[in-house]
Structure 1
């Protein structure tokens, strides 16, 4: 029976399945080893995220957990490439060769934002400077050949000319990166949402036979798992708790941009199973942070405040104001994100993608209106 099962699978599928599992496990192991060392250095060198009136945590907590992300992901991907060549398998090299231009520019963007994140966590950087770097990264991604050239039926639009696609791509990249950065407000929220997104993207890319991007997705998921443990379950009093900081949020945000844009350029006809609209698959995992940042920005502008200065109007702040504990608020938001993604996948087979997006926005708006009403009523 086992022989029949494996005979039904191609050698390519087996190779990429094993590689995906191996990449995930190696990243979990390496990240799990590296994060405690970052904690040790942070306490020895007094590198902490100090609490203030806007922040929720109490006590001193290091914010350099994101330093582990990029080196572990790059090391693991390079290791798997070397091992596959050592064993005589050329699948990974062939796929990288086909995508070398996009991958090269993408990795440059990840490195650039990783360095900006480290500088911001250690000495602080103005938001205008970070915006400029993010725009540069957007231009580099376009130079790599990845840009939004198709809206897949949104507003009845399919193909886009480059003079619209290029600036739209830069705008989307800056938007997604800042959405991930701003949703990082309570323990486990950013890593939980990003973990769900990378798992989702990994499975979709595997079904679409875009194995290199599936590997990148599973590697990113692998580094997030140990961080999630230390971030959520770590005890600050025992010096076991850590935040990802801007290093982590900017790095993961850039990776999610790459995965989202690459998915938008795929075709569902390439999949081994029937998949829904590509646009739905691309935006659904990022729906919660993106809708939240739009609502917060509009709220700040309406109240005459600088939209780029932090406040306490995010969705997690609303849940905490209702009396929820941090962990329960985090779990609730992550579950809502999963529910949105699953419902979108199912419903997109029956309704127009434009109508589906409008329904998503309406549900999110009504949810926030209801939360605001409950908070005022409790007060």
Structure 2
């Protein structure tokens, strides 16, 4: 019992320190990225599709992966240096998923940098995202059990592989496409990281908890500069594709791994699918609706437009910051509501309720926009 308590205390310290260290380091690195961006004139220039005003650097995401990996590896290295060799066994149990997960994040990080600096065609990005899904599978991170969704439990291996690749591409693009106004993507991802960090810790999957809290740590300073930074003072920054692709891949890795860990626990606490994907409902539902809208109107589903949920809320007269706060609050309500209701409502019925609420809200917003346009 004493060894268990001591081990738990060690990981509480690790998780707390990795969060603080990531906040500190990102707070140092992001201003340096701003300085370089303005000296080299690396801006996201406004156009008819974009909402922001003024030239804003879009390289904030460059700080994410190096800070996360450096902080995690530094603290684990210090643990071993001072004699806490038990961290090796914790890493060893998940070495294969971690190694391939890190590789997938690094690949998307490099693609994101290329896209932010010179541009990358969406077909090339799609191919790389599929490759990242394959790397997750190689690491043993894949969906092998739907835990009752659509009445399905254990999946044939080949179907599990296919669903994992589809889920990888889907989640990455959902996070990428929700990044449309200040603080929205980072706020939604922060909620997901906080939630994943807590759940992984409860499951005693401490290394994944560290990754989740490290990601939360880099998002906090970015959120400050993205939301409260002033364009005229050269303090505002966007995460760019480097950030959205990297964070999207991290959330994909953590969410699928959480499904596996929850299934290993036998779903004793809550349905693993509820735990893993409730924090991602807003970006995932939004990307499905937007893609269907584009296809229905004969448009390329991969080309951007202004039909996302945040665009709709702005179109009815809400301010950007109000929209951001509202959507994040709704995401939090969806997450907590699903967790609480899943104890009493079967998962498929709960999914139908979520879809119905989302659909009705969007229908209401569309009608409101049409009414405002007709009265203009």
Task: Tell me the TM-score range normalised by the shorter chain.
Answer: over 0.9
Aligned to 2:249: 254
Q: 2:337 aligns with which of 324, 343, 358?
A: 343
Aligned to 1:80: 75
The whole-number CA distance in structure 1 between the counterparts of 2:82 and 2:355 is: 50
The whole-number CA distance in structure 1 between the counterparts of 2:81 and 2:124 is: 43
Once the two structures are superposed, the pairs formed by residues 1-379 of structure 1 within 5 Å of their partners are 10-267=5-262, 270=265, 275-379=269-373
Shift of 1:90: 2.0
How many residues are treated as equivalent by the alignment? 373
Shift of 1:267: 3.0
Shift of 1:92: 2.2
What secondary structure, in the 3-state scheme, does the structure 1 residue paired with 2:119 have? coil
What secondary structure, in the 3-state scheme, does the structure 1 residue paired with 2:261 have? coil
Evaluate the alpha carbon distance shift between residue 270 and residue 166 of structure 1 in structure 2; reply closer, same or farther with a 3 A threshold: closer
1:25-66 Cα deviation digits (max 9, x unpaired): 000000000000000000000000000000000000000000
The whole-number CA distance in structure 1 between the counterparts of 2:107 and 2:5 is: 38
1:114-147 Cα deviation digits (max 9, x unpaired): 0000000000000000000000111011000111
Shift of 1:8: 11
Q: TM-score, normalised by structure 1?
A: 0.96
The whole-number CA distance in structure 1 between the counterparts of 2:273 and 2:260 is: 10
1:236-282 Cα deviation digits (max 9, x unpaired): 100000000000000000000000110110136749x9621111011
1:176-208 Cα deviation digits (max 9, x unpaired): 000000000000000000000000000010111
1:300-332 Cα deviation digits (max 9, x unpaired): 011111111100000000010011111000000
The whole-number CA distance in structure 2 between the counterparts of 1:274 and 1:12 is: 23
Q: Unpaired segments of 5 or more residues in structure 1?
A: 1-5
Q: TM-score, normalised by structure 2?
A: 0.97
Deviating beyond 6 angstroms after TM superposition, the runs of 4 or more aligned structure 1 residues are 6-9
What secondary structure, in the 3-state scheme, does the structure 1 residue paired with 2:302 have? coil
The whole-number CA distance in structure 2 between the counterparts of 1:217 and 1:303 is: 39
Contact 1:268 1:275 in 2 (8 A): no
Evaluate the alpha carbon distance shift between residue 157 and residue 270 of structure 1 in structure 2; reply closer, same or farther with a 3 A threshold: closer
The whole-number CA distance in structure 2 between the counterparts of 1:46 and 1:347 is: 50
What secondary structure, in the 3-state scheme, does the structure 1 residue paired with 2:269 have? coil
Contact 1:120 1:246 in 2 (8 A): yes
Q: Unpaired segments of 5 or more residues in structure 2?
A: none
The whole-number CA distance in structure 2 between the counterparts of 1:268 and 1:135 is: 25
Q: Which of 155-164 and 245-254 deviates more? A: 155-164
The whole-number CA distance in structure 2 between the counterparts of 1:68 and 1:267 is: 31
The whole-number CA distance in structure 1 between the counterparts of 2:2 and 2:105 is: 39
